[in-house]
Structure 1
Amino acid sequence: MVDQHHDGPGDSVEKRPINFTHTSGSSPLEGYTIKRGIGVGGFGEVYFALSDGGKEVAIKRIQRHLDIELRGMRQCLNIKHPNLLCLFDIRQDEQDTGWIVMEFISGKNLKELLEESPQGFPRDQAVAWIHGITSGVAHLHRHGIVHRDLKPANIFMDDGLVKVGDYGLSKFISCSRQGGQTESVGTFHYMAPEIGKGKYGKQVDVYALGIMFYEMLTGDVPFDGESSQEIIMKHLTDEPDLAGIDSRFKLAISKALEKDASKRFRDGTELLDALPKPDYTRLKYFTKPPEVPVPVAPDPRVRVSETTVPKSPASPGLTTWYDLARSELKSSPSRDRLTQLLGSLLTASLVSTILTLIMLPIGGIPIDGQPGTMSFFGWLLTSHISFCWAILLLGHYWESRKGDEIIRRLVMFGVGVGAGTLAFFTASFLNLSLVDFHRPSGSMQWPWMAANGIPTLGQYAINYGILFAVICWWKQADSFRPARIDLLNAVACALVTWLLPIVPLPWSLMMAASISITVQASAPFLPEKDRKRYKIQIRSYH
């Protein structure tokens, strides 16, 4: 049969005459009579039909990838939400052909509406559309479902309510199953960069939502081209042009379209929190959807960490961009944080080695390869690395947490005591005599020195503890420090050390300054563009 109808029941369809398998009046599926063909989606034919009781429905005959399609549908069969197309049943006919019975929607899909509005929608209308779409997707995400094929052709409106349809590619996914998915999914204009690599999570839907919001505001997709390869390459390399986007929406779109999935909103719920709410009193054709409570009991198939709804950035207590950034940092995957820390420690070791080699000739010790020189170099390098590692480890632990500064200084004192003890025993292990190193020139004798000119273990440990407690070293390892490397910090550390000369000049100045530089060079640093993003976002909430 040839059919000219293009109404969408929740499946993207082709806009051309279609040869359907079943004709009007036939009943291939018991209990339903076909009235007309609607279109062909990615996996099969779609028909408008009536049940024996007279209910209007859309039924989809699965022609290809039966297992994939039915698996996706079964996951969504019992999920109910005002912004999701209703799925009624999954059936098989006498020939074991799979059929899906779903809600029928007679209106145009979002793709057709966008084609009628080449300049995009008015802002209030675009906000209402994206809010409704994101609400439905967020509900899927709370149940561990990733849609994977979000695009305007799969979005509809019924009686003023936005509806997300076509779950044919939906897939259940948990934290442990985000890799290994090699099947290419989605439509090129709306596909996240990581999909081509077969690694994705809920962020692929977030990316598609960002693309659609951009398109609704401007009338164009942010990444277009003459071929699929060109479009994919732009997804991988180009940044979206946000010059024409209202400042209220730039942050949400920018974060949703991050190339790195870990930098995007984690799921639809987070994106929804970042979007302004629609003013339905100003919208003629939209209906305010009923409130849907977040389910208390998690889906048993999904790990708790996936079903827990993340705290809104606008939650009480988040009053500055620092608070917002630290909150997001705290929720980062532990594996990513550990990898970042290991990278910092390795970098610190390399920088320490370079700076220690530079310090030797400045301190009057030639690099001649003699046993005494090598022992001293080994002691100095070990002390330098241990100090830097201790600061980086504490900075890593504290940067995502608020804490009392006095308590932190006490902790730093204890760490300094440990570092001083390690330095003292390292010298003994290397058979290094520190008499010449610690004996000052002239007749001056520091009060904490023993009679022979070298400090005891207790004195060594206590003075290093004081050195660690006086300077806020952990702030130099904070990702949110004002500058990547601030040389004034290094100078200040050197001056403080000069006032506590446990190590004589010029070593005290060089050690303190080089440790400060090493820590700053090795610790993570939040780029300026991300700081601006957080500042804009926190202003939008207050």
Structure 2
Amino acid sequence: MERNMKFTFAPESKPLAGFTIKRAIDRGGFGEVYYALSDSGKEVALKLLQQNMDIELRGVTQCLNLKHPNLVTIFDVKTDHDGDHWVVMEYVSGQGLDKALQQYPQGMPMEQVRYWLSGISEGLSYLHSRGLVHRDLKPSNVFRDGETIKIGDVGLSKFITHSRRSANTQSVGTVYYMAPEVARGRYGKEVDVYAVGVMVYEMITGVVPFDGESTAEILMKHLSEKPDLSRLPVHLRAVMGRALEKDPDKRVGDIKIFKQEFERAIFQRNSSTEIPEDSFESHLATPAGAYDTSVGSHHEDTSYVKREVNTLLTPMLFLFLFLISGLLFAASSTRAGMPVFTVVIALALFWVAVSLFTKAGAAAVSRGFSAIVKGPPPISNLWDKKHKIQKSQTADQYRESNLEKTQIIREAERKKAEAQRRQAHNRNRQKPYYPRALTPRTPRIISNRTRLYNLSVSMIKAAICTLVIVVGLVCFTDGSLFQGAMGDMSRGVMRGYNYAPFCLLTCGTLIAAWSVLAVAKLTEGKPYDQSTRRIIWLTTGAVVGAVIYLLQTEVLMTTIGSAKEDYLGLRPLFDAVGPNSLVLVNGQPSLFSYVIFFGVLFCFRRWWWHADSFRPRKFRVLSVLITVFTAYIITAIWAFPMIPAMCWAAIISSVVQLSASWIPAEQRFIEMKGGAQ
């Protein structure tokens, strides 16, 4: 990042007494950040405040006394001799979350997401517990220092109370992670929860939930559009939807609660829930047939059978006593006389007393009369119930069978959720992905028509550039490039001299440049690994070398100078490869020499980067110099004329860069969306 920015202070400068700047780190909306050493040798980060100084100084002052392992510590605020304000902070040498996201363009592993979220939630919870809200949470403000996650850039932090939640009207923060209410000048700690929700969404999917071509468009999406939760795993959609809620009153209000709900959703997704045995108590008294008989026979409640037995025995006992009383009464009236009758009356009175004054007796009488009115249960029921009890499973077996059934149901639900997740993943893979920095490594969809159009235009430009460069070399050099013939041409092109070296240089350059453009444009945007790319370019270079050799020996029948002059007095390491010589008798390079030179040159230079439309710049002189140096190294190892080799390398690199299509960085997102559509 430092290479593309100009900073106020150079390394080893001392703008602030007691500190020496070593290098620049970053520039943000509030100022510049430097890595520095104190006079005692302590590593610190110095932040020079340049914009929004009132907000920054107020926030820094509030955070001076905050000490937490998950927050970047602010040591002091100092002023230099020019009146500039500096914030002295803890230096964190680890990787930022923004760099970590670039390593996972399709989303982080869930363990990494949980790791980052855990540290963020701890630091943010401490900040909220002190009555502060961060207001500028984003991946570039979250760092990893060893095994600890730290939240930095707390300069925007502000005290929040219920009476001041809607008092601030200045929208601050980063638009990709800004809660909707911030745009309306109302914020609380819910804005930090929203920002964390956006970051977690980005960590899981690799993209932010709301993107656009302008700040206004992104803000409007934050205010009106719902996030695309289909990119997320099914079990996380509910908790992420609550964290990204537009209305802060409906949003998760505490970062700890969000973290707990997130962890709970992951746990419920990845583990089976054990059902307590108490959950089955209500089913023990369920009548037969209430469950599916396919699971197994069901346990019957023995107390139900006992109640039926008691209901049957009570009227039987009543009838038995009544019968005995009648017999005794008959006997007393015929034989025993008055004493037996007295005993019978006493027993009857005792029975009435028991029935009226005891609960058991009243219940027995009630059941007896009920049985007389309704009729007693069939005697066969007793046998059937006992028979079923003997064949039924025990209570443990019953619970086990129901647990098994529950596990089967849960397994079916898990498979269904897994299928939905795979379908969502496949849909997400088909959606275009736009990383923050679009480079030649970025996979993208390019139609065949666009490829052919870009290739055709580039080849026409390559022919024009080749002629201009070669004619310029002929006219403005002393003619030592290709023996003496080129020198004769430079002194009089129209006098009938030998044009063969000129044609060889021109046609050889054009063949090589066209080959580079053809391979680069046909493979542009495709996610090849490095080894595959090297093999493709090695083969292309070998074919180009063979064609140029045939052009020199069979078509133009010319030479490219003596070996002694072109090697500048240096001898290559290898004059032959096995039995095949690299230099012919007349000093000219052989077929193997051409094949090796162009094959190795194409293999070890990133020619696809030269011609890609997403390359950093249209033309880079450094790329030309590196290509020339590569050609020099190749000719120092394998025999090939050094001057023609370096000349060809420089011209081919220049022609390819000048002729290949190039898209400015600010237009690449639009181009990718148009290609995807």
TM-score for both structures, normalised by structure 2: 0.38
Comparing both structures, which one devotes a greater share of its residues to helix? 2
| Structure with higher RCO (Cα < 8 A, 6+ apart) | 1
Larger radius of gyration: 2
TM-score for both structures, normalised by structure 1: 0.47
